[in-house]
Amino acid sequence: MYKLKCFKAYDVRGQVPSELNHDIAYRIGRAYAQFLSAKQVIVGHDIRLTSPELSAALVDGLTDGGVDVLHIGQCGTEEVYFATFHLNTCGGICITASHNPKEFNGMKFVQAQAKPISGDSGLKDIQRLVEENNFPTVLKANKGQVTNISIAQAYTEHLLTYIDSTKLKPMKVVTNAGNGGAGEIIDRLTEHLPFEFIKLNHSADGNFPNGVPNPLLPENRTDTVAAIKNHQADFGIAWDGDFDRCFFFDENGEFVEGYYIVGLLATMLLAQHPNEKIVHDPRLFWNTQDIVAEHGGSCVQSKTGHAFIKECMRKEDAIYGGEMSAHHYFKDFAYCDNGNIPWLLISSLMSQTGKTLSSLIAERKACYPCSGEINTKVADPVSLIAAIEQQYCSTATSVDHTDGLSISFENWRFNLRMSNTEPLLRLNVESKNDVILMQEKTAELLATISA
């Protein structure tokens, strides 16, 4: 029995067709049906050129496994989550590779009530069934049915419940869908909001004519920055391909680290729901912990990754969870991540306070300057992380291995971890009220990593 490379820590991702193809997608459908004993499942897919074919193979596997499929068509991952809990199905699968290059594709899985399926909660069992490829014979009488449905209106109405649109002030907003799927959501919301949208790379196109939709890449931000300046917009938003992450730009065109958006959203939600729990990942968290303590909440640390954060959110019954990578999770969205609720809430906060986005985060950036995530390809990441721990641990105030290596000192800290989805080593550094110290320590660590 051979091991499939496309199964990762919390989803499936691989090159098509060498690592993920029609046959594997079919077997995933059979395995998912068998593992969950599912009766009815949501299926949707992103805008990638290979997604319809993989979706069809997956659906064949599900229906041969006796599952009735409700197919919502081209969508974002958050729409699969919504349809799963809104329609009370046994689970949901989105065919997507998020921000990976266009030759990749993948799948994200949830069970009933959009509960995640990760390596800690069933994904390894599904992988084993796929690799064994020993499924019962298909009986025609037991074959499931496929129904094509639309959730567009219901989902639009759900998003609007997070704000009072009558209290929003007119604003000019740049939106960059990156030729992913987010443009359709903006079109649906336009008539309900007092905003003028300047829409960039708006049409879905799996050829990615303007580059892979990954706003974390600086070269992918130039269009958004230019449009904000040219139109004198109030702020800008950009998304990845399946738009479960949104990225912010302030009124000056400055990219806003997702870390500081976590703090803003925690502030808003704790104001509405005092004494609740906030979940964060280990990469950057001093700002979040400070804000949550100030507003009477409590923090819970989780491993990085959407499936792990969701599991932690449910276990702790947290009101909100945030990752500096721009995943934001909400209790009222079945504890799942969403790429549209954050910008709706931030626009509401700007309307309420009359403040610009840059002024809302300026103080927090000064208190807790951070490096942003820096990615490096290295030959032997395990040995390198061990060597760095040995180098820094003797003078540390704490050492933590929740996810990779986190080492804290009195006035600065860092996290170094291997990516769960790409062959990269990821570094994040932050300090307390000392941008020079943060920059010096970042350079010091990068020199060691690159040596």
Task: Print the SS3 string covering 108-171.
Answer: EEEEHHHCECCCCCCHHHHHHHHHHCCCCCCCHHHCCCEEECCCHHHHHHHHHHHCCHHHCCCE
Q: How confident is the model at residue 306 (pLDDT cuts 50, 70, 90)?
A: confident
- The pTM (predicted TM-score) of the whole model is 0.95
Tens digits of per-residue pLDDT, 377-394? 998 999 999 999 999 999
Q: How many percent of the chain have pLDDT more than 70?
A: 99
* Per-residue pLDDT, 1: 59
Residue 55 to residue 39: CA distance in whole angstroms:
18
Query: How far is residue 123's CA from residue 246's CA, in Å, rounded to a whole number?
Result: 26
Per-residue model confidence (pLDDT) at position 307: 83
Q: Which residues are catalytic?
A: 98
Q: How confident is the model at residue 119 (pLDDT cuts 50, 70, 90)?
A: confident
